């Protein structure tokens, strides 16, 4: 079984994606997690890009990495100067990483129109840069930029770039689909046309502009490459990079190759979500293998098949990648779905009165606008109420909100809430940017001294859906709220013609779910 090296560029290429930013500590924490799971190479960034990038290469030395080789990123020497005085080459050496990634041009148009030099000088820049870095003891990964576009335009010159890198001693030459516009059949044909036995080992680096980055990477492996570059969650500039969270399990579980991540593949889902949390990005629920929806089933018929023989409707066992199956609740749900949700409360027959009552409740509430596919915490409260296991945290007496704005200041909302808990009356107050934030603050103010678990709960997402747009401002709205304690995350839903009332309902469910599940139990 051929071993494929995995090269992660989340900390460099990934950060070029829209909305992706990491602090220095984030980068170090992600580096440690990548090493823990067994990634072969971690591209830390461009040392000259900023003080933070330079600081990363100093700080990463203190990590006790056991599996990964950190790589500094840079380009070949500039045209017309000696390699010994090129600041980019010097920066890579100063980073003191065991590996370096050197970008060179392989498309003749980039040589003449972008870096504005002649073709022979470009080859000399590649040769001298690789040779110089090798003489200084570095493992050199040469990335010929725009290789596939360059090959289609001038195959002889693109091949000459690979031969030059090989002669200079490059340890790996990574074929880059920098524009992301090459299709899988082209990738395979071009790689198979290369004289691989006369070249350094080949790698692949794909962007996702046609939605084919994963497929391109896989067909490149089938065509002979032994080194795959990508990012966690497929982040990167424009449409992103090849997604390692899909590539690695495809290689290991579907194609018969081995990677250094195989023994820790069960940590893949956690790695995906950990990295998303560091970037403050809500994870893509529909992401293959590691997304929440990857092993989710909605129709009652599907849930019934899962119960009888899951392999008939799931392409792998979700636990292999650290994910888990989810049976979603909807108007399509059958009795098997409800029975599955009731398992943790005991054994229930499909024809029992409890199951029938819950199916009726579910359908009625969905007709009213509720949706429980991604609000399972709210449905758990419905189950508890049906079984007589629900314990309310408090009883609302009233709340009052008032918004104000001045010419020179942003609008503010002031709120007060009055409620009763365990026979004791409480009052809370809050001042926030908007009514939902203010309600949240007032509720916590009223109860947090009596229930310190509220200080552990953080609202991390708030989403509103208009259900009857034809009714304009009188339309019913559905509000979803996502809360977390760091260790646990849950979703709740509220519905009303009044957006504040819908938000309040979802907010109350969020705290009462935690109270019933983690405090009362």
Q: Is the pLDDT of residue 326 over 80?
A: no
Task: Check residue 76 and report its DSSP letter.
Answer: P
- Give pLDDT tens digits for 380-394: 999 999 999 999 999
Q: How far does Cα 416 stand from its chain's mean position? A: 38
pTM of the model: 0.74
What strand order describes the sheet that includes 395-404? 395-404, 412-421, 424-432
pLDDT of residue 121: 97
Q: Look up the CATH superfamily of 5-278.
A: Aldolase class I (3.20.20.70)
Q: Any idea which of 134-148, 343-357, 486-500 has the lowest mean pLDDT? A: 343-357
Contact (Cβ atoms closer than 8 angstroms) between residue 84 and residue 47: no
Who contacts 256 (Cβ-Cβ below 8 Å, separation ≥6)?
1
Domain 395-520 has CATH 2.40.50.140: no
* Spatial distance between the Cα atoms of 383 and 23, rounded to a whole number of angstroms: 42
- Give pLDDT tens digits for 74-103: 999 999 999 999 999 999 999 999 999 999
* Spatial distance between the Cα atoms of 147 and 205, rounded to a whole number of angstroms: 10
Q: Give the CB-side neighbour count of residue 248, counting CA atoms within 13 A.
A: 34
- Give pLDDT tens digits for 24-52: 999 999 999 999 999 999 999 999 878 88
Would you list the domain boundaries of the chain?
5-278, 292-367, 395-520
* Residue 194 burial (CB count, 10 A): 20
- Confidence label for 303 from pLDDT (cuts 50, 70 and 90): low
**Structure-block tokens of residue 162:** 């690979």
Q: Give the CB-side neighbour count of residue 66, counting CA atoms within 13 A.
A: 6
* Spatial distance between the Cα atoms of 221 and 259, rounded to a whole number of angstroms: 12
* Spatial distance between the Cα atoms of 146 and 143, rounded to a whole number of angstroms: 9
- Give pLDDT tens digits for 227-256: 999 999 999 999 999 999 999 999 999 999
pLDDT of residue 300: 55
Q: Is the pLDDT of residue 260 over 60?
A: yes
Q: Is the pLDDT of residue 263 over 80?
A: yes
- Give pLDDT tens digits for 63-77: 999 999 999 999 999
Task: Check residue 279 and report its DSSP letter.
Answer: T
Phi and psi of 65, rounded to 5°?
Answer: -75, 135
Contact (Cβ atoms closer than 8 angstroms) between residue 393 and residue 454: no
- Give pLDDT tens digits for 328-371: 665 555 566 777 778 888 888 777 888 888 888 888 888 888 88
Q: Is the pLDDT of residue 175 over 90?
A: yes
């Amino acid at each position: 079984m051929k071993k494929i090296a995995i090269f992660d560029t989340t900390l460099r290429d990934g950060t070029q994606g829209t909305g992706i930013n990491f602090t220095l500590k984030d980068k170090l924490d992600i580096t440690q997690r990548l090493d823990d799971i067994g990634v072969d190479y971690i591209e830390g960034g461009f040392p000259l890009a900023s003080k933070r990038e330079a600081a990363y290469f100093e700080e990463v030395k203190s990590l006790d990495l056991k599996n990964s080789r950190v790589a500094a990123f840079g380009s070949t020497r500039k045209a017309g100067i000696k390699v010994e005085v090129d600041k980019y080459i010097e920066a890579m050496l100063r980073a003191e990483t065991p590996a370096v990634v050197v970008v060179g041009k392989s498309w003749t148009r980039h040589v003449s129109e972008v870096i504005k030099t002649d073709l022979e000088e470009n080859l000399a820049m590649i040769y001298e840069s690789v040779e110089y870095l090798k003489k200084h003891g570095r493992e050199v990964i040469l990335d010929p930029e725009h290789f596939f576009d360059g090959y289609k335009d001038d195959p002889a010159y693109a091949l000459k770039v690979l031969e030059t890198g090989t002669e200079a001693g490059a340890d790996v030459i990574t074929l880059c689909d920098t524009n992301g516009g090459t299709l899988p059949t082209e990738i395979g044909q071009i790689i198979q046309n290369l004289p691989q036995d006369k070249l350094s080992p080949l790698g692949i680096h794909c962007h996702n502009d046609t939605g084919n980055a994963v497929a391109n990477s896989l067909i490149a492996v089938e065509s002979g490459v032994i080194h795959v570059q990508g990012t966690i969650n497929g982040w990167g500039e424009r449409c992103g990079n090849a997604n390692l969270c899909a590539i690695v399990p495809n290689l290991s579980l579907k194609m018969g190759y081995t990677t250094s991540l195989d023994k820790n593949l069960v940590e893949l889902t956690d790695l995906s979500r950990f990295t998303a949390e560091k970037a403050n990005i809500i994870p893509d629920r529909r992401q293959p293998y590691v997304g929440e929806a990857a092993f989710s089933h909605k129709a009652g018929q599907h849930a019934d098949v899962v119960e009888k023989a899951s392999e008939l409707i799931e392409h792998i066992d979700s636990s292999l990648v650290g994910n888990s199956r989810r049976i979603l609740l909807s108007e399509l749900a059958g009795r098997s779905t409800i029975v599955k949700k009731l398992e943790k409360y005991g054994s229930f027959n499909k024809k029992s009165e409890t199951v029938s009552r819950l199916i009726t409740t579910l359908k009625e509430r969905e007709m009213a606008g509720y949706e429980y596919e991604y609000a399972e915490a709210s449905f758990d409260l419905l189950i508890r109420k049906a079984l007589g296991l629900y314990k309310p945290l408090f009883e609302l007496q009233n709340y009052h909100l008032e918004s104000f704005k001045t010419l020179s200041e942003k609008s503010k909302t002031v709120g007060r809430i009055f409620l009763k808990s365990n026979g004791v009356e409480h009052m809370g107050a809050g001042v926030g940017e908007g009514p939902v934030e203010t309600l949240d603050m007032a509720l916590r103010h009223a109860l947090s001294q009596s229930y310190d678990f509220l200080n552990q709960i953080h609202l991390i997402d708030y989403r509103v859906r208009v259900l009857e747009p034809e009714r304009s401002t009188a339309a019913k709205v559905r509000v979803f709220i996502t809360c977390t304690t760091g260790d646990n995350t849950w979703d709740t839903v509220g519905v009303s013609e009044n957006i504040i009332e819908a938000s309040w309902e979802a907010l109350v469910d969020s705290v009462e779910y935690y109270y019933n599940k983690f405090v009362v139990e």
